[in-house]
Amino acid sequence: MPAAVLHNTAGDAKDGEVLELVELFFFAYRDFVRDADRLLETYGFGRAHHRVLHFVDRRPGLSIAALLDILRITKQSLNRVLKQLLDAGLVEAREGASDRRQRLLFLTSLGETLARELAALQSERFRRVLGEMPVPARDAAADFLFSMIDSEERTRVRDHLARARNRAQRAAEPL
Amino acid sequence: MPAAVLHNTAGDAKDGEVLELVELFFFAYRDFVRDADRLLETYGFGRAHHRVLHFVDRRPGLSIAALLDILRITKQSLNRVLKQLLDAGLVEAREGASDRRQRLLFLTSLGETLARELAALQSERFRRVLGEMPVPARDAAADFLFSMIDSEERTRVRDHLARARNRAQRAAEPL
DNA sequence: AGAAATATGTCAATATAGCTGACTTAAACC
DNA sequence: GGTTTAAGTCAGCTATATTGACATATTTCT
């Protein structure tokens, strides 16, 4: 089914072709978040809650500061959302062991359930898309997305991914 | 520079790999819109204004209904934004020739200037990214984005792209 | 020990972008 | 002439973000 939708022949991309990519990116993102939004609505939560759930799931024990750094929003914005998640019993804050000022964030089992339901929806879309692509093009998709990120942000993102991976390894080890 | 960031070996994508794509998509979109947001701020406009400017630029003579269909927001939401753009003299509404109830939207030269400045920012990002990719992978990027769109929406998107391509000849078009 | 920096929380006000519901006007369709 | 359609409008609501100012506890530095 995917057969060069835009007929990008070769060489430099023309103005119109690039504009179409801009639009496709807009439409793709619009649909990408809509799945999750619908599910969140049934719980009375929004996109902001999703982001917190996601990143705490990916990196349990994340501090408030680290979370703010990832989300790039203000402390006040986060607080409202975080308080709702704490009150609803989806997120748990524990005092930091080495630095008792810190509140380290963890998901409760309830929070984990929702986080993984949401992740499943969005992963499903990617799985479908990857399945429709030839294998060599899959790495290209990841490189494409990574390259779309601001160069100054890439180190931060790479660091985040590495930390999330280490967490996964630690979880897998005690088998 | 792009060298298989995620080391997607072959076969089915693993859970962790797919989750990383989900995150990369989030980060990529976050940065993608930030360029434009910064410029818009200096004009006192927001992302909603940008979308209107963009789609009216792409399809001059767009009716309100057609614009609502693309944006997937309510008439009331659009109206506030559209009124500001009309008042600021960036957008112009003309009575439909065949159907006088319609208000067909066009950019003024002022509106065109801003729309193209914004488009240039976002196109620049794509040009950079495409430039960093091997030529065959470029079509893959377009196919990837198109495939990310809901299947029920793809016809609509394809139709929009076709109309945008033909826009030069047309003055106005029916929905 | 005391000062300074840090991590977090909180209050208040504001902006943007969306929503629903109800209603109007004017034109087109049949 | 009645119904449908395209668009505009009023009022009120929600979610997500912002800035600025200030409070508190804890750590770190001198």
Q: How many CB atoms lie within 10 A of CB A141?
A: 26
Structure tokens at B118: 């914004």
CA–CA distance, B13 with A158 (Å, rounded to integer): 19
* pLDDT given at position A85: 96
| Residue B92 CA distance to nucleotide C25 C1' (Å) | 21
CATH fold of B15-132 reads: Arc Repressor Mutant, subunit A (1.10.10)
Count of A-B CB contacts under 8 Å: 194
Q: Does B145 sit within 8 Å of A18, measured CB to CB? A: no
Query: Which protein residues have Cβ within 7 A of any strand C atom?
Result: A 63-65, 75-76, 79, 82-83, 93, 96, 99, 101-103; B 44-49, 51, 72-74, 76-77, 80-81, 98-101
Which among A16, A128, A145 has the least Cβ separation from residue B21? A145
Task: Judge whether residue B106 has pLDDT over 50.
Answer: yes
Query: For the sheet containing B62-63, what is the strand order?
Result: B62-63, B103-107, B91-95
Q: Which of A22, A129, A155 is nearest to B128 (CA)?
A: A22
* CATH number for the domain formed by residue range(s) A15-124+152-169: 1.10.10.10
Q: B63-93 pLDDT, tens per residue? A: 999 999 999 999 999 999 999 999 999 999 9
Mean pLDDT for chain B? Answer: 87
Query: Residue A150 has which token pair?
Result: 């601001």
* DSSP run (H or E) holding A92: strand A91-95
- Output the pLDDT for position B3: 47
- Residue extents of the structural domains in chain B: 15-132
Whole-Å CA distances, A26 to A15, A95, B146, B173: 17, 40, 10, 23
- What is the mean predicted confidence (pLDDT) over A121-133? 92
Chain A contact for B163, CB < 8 A?
A: no
pLDDT-derived band of residue A139, with 50, 70 and 90 as boundaries?
confident
